[in-house]
Amino acid sequence: MKRLLIANRGEVAIRIARAAADLGIWSVAVYSQDDVRSLHRLRADESRELQGSGPAAYLDISQIVAVARETACDAVHPGYGFLSESAEFARQLRAAGLTFVGAPSEVLDLFGDKGAARRLAIQCGVSVPNGTLQDTGLEEALRVFDETRSGLMVKAVSGGGGRGMRRVDERAHLASAIEVCRSEAKLAFGNEAIYVEEFVTDARHVEVQVLADSSGAITVFGERECSLQRRQQKVIEVAPAPGLEPAVRDAMMEAASKLSRAAGLIGLGTFEFLMTYESGRAHWVFIECNPRLQVEHTVTEAVFGVDLVQAQLQVAAGASLEALGMQQERIGPPNGYAIELRINMEQIVGGEVRPVAGTLSVFEPPAGPGIRVDTFGYAGFAPSPRFDALLAKLVVHAPRANFRTALNRAQRALAEFTIDGIPTNQSLLHRLLAHPAVEQMAVTTNFIEQNMGSLPEVAAGRARQFEPVGLPPTGAGANPEEDPPQDDGSVAVRSPMAGSVLELDVGVGQRIGASDRVAVLEAMKMHSEIHAGAAGVVTRVLVKVGDVVAGNAALLWVAPAGALDTGEDSGTDVPRAISLEEVPPTIEEVWTQRAATLDEQRPVAVAKRHSSGRRTARENLADLCDEGSFVEFGSLAVASMRGFDPAELRAISPSDGIVAGLATINGATQRRSRCALLAFDSTVFAGTMGMVAKVKIERLARIAGEGQIPLVIFAEGGGARSGESDGEGANGSLETFLQLARVKGRAPLIGIVAGNCFAANAALLGLCDIIIATRAASIGMAGPAMIEGAGLGRFAPEEVGPAAMQSRNGVVTVVAEDEAEAVMTARRCVGYFQGPARAGESPDQRLLRHIVPANRLLAYDIRALLSTLADKDSVVEMRPEFGKAIVTAMVRIDGIPFGILANDPRHLGGAIDADAADKAAGFLQMCETFGFPLVTLCDTPGFMVGPDAEKQALVRHVMHMMAVGANLTVPHFTVVLRKCYGLGGLTMNLGSYTRPLFHVAWPSGEYGAMNAEGSVRISHKRELAEIEDPDERRQRQQELVQAIQDRGKALRAAARGAIDEIIDPVETRRWLLAGLLSVRPINGGDLDCPT
Show which residues are catalytic. Answer: 292
Sign of the C-alpha dihedral computed for residues 455, 460, 464 and 467 taken in this order: negative
**Burial class, 385, CB count within 10 angstroms (exposed 0-12 / middle 13-18 / buried 19+):** middle
- Strands 233-239, 337-344: pairing kind: antiparallel
Neighbouring C-beta atoms of residue 599, cutoff 10 Å = 18
Residue 426, helix vs strand vs coil: helix
Q: For residue 240, say if its preceding peptide bond is cis, omega within 30 degrees of 0.
A: yes
Cα–Cα separations (whole angstroms), residue 677 to 432, 625, 633, 662, 685: 33, 9, 10, 6, 20
- 696 and 663 Cβ atoms separated by less than 8 Å: no
* CA gap 82, 105 in Å, rounded: 15
Question: In the beta sheet, which residues pair with residue 1001?
Answer: 976, 1062
Closest CA to 375 of 340, 409, 343: 343
* CA gap 993, 997 in Å, rounded: 10
CA 832 to chain centre: 15
- 338 and 371 Cβ atoms separated by less than 8 Å: no
* CA gap 767, 781 in Å, rounded: 12
* CA gap 60, 57 in Å, rounded: 5
Q: What are phi and psi of 247, to 5 degrees?
A: -65, -40
CA angle 862, 864, 869 (to 5 degrees): 95
Closest CA to 773 of 743, 738, 808: 808
Cα–Cα separations (whole angstroms), residue 650 to 595, 598, 637, 680: 11, 12, 8, 16
Cα–Cα separations (whole angstroms), residue 944 to 243, 774, 818, 991, 1064: 71, 32, 36, 17, 30
Sign of the C-alpha dihedral computed for residues 508, 513, 519 and 523 taken in this order: positive
Give residues with Cβ within 8 angstroms of 495, minimum separation 6. Answer: 477, 521, 530, 549, 550, 551, 552, 553, 554, 555
Sign of the C-alpha dihedral computed for residues 695, 701, 707 and 710 taken in this order: positive
* CA gap 972, 989 in Å, rounded: 9
Closest CA to 1012 of 1037, 977, 990, 985: 1037
Closest CA to 557 of 472, 489, 474: 489
Q: Computed over its alpha carbons, how large is the radius of gyration of the chain?
A: 35
* CA gap 21, 593 in Å, rounded: 75
* CA gap 720, 861 in Å, rounded: 45
Question: How would you classify residue 307: left for phi > 0, otherwise alpha for psi between -120 and 50, otherwise beta?
Answer: beta
At 662, the amino acid letter reads L
Give kind and range of the element (H or E) at residue 99.
strand 99-100
At 239, the amino acid letter reads A
At 1075, the amino acid letter reads G
- Strands 511-512, 526-531: pairing kind: unpaired
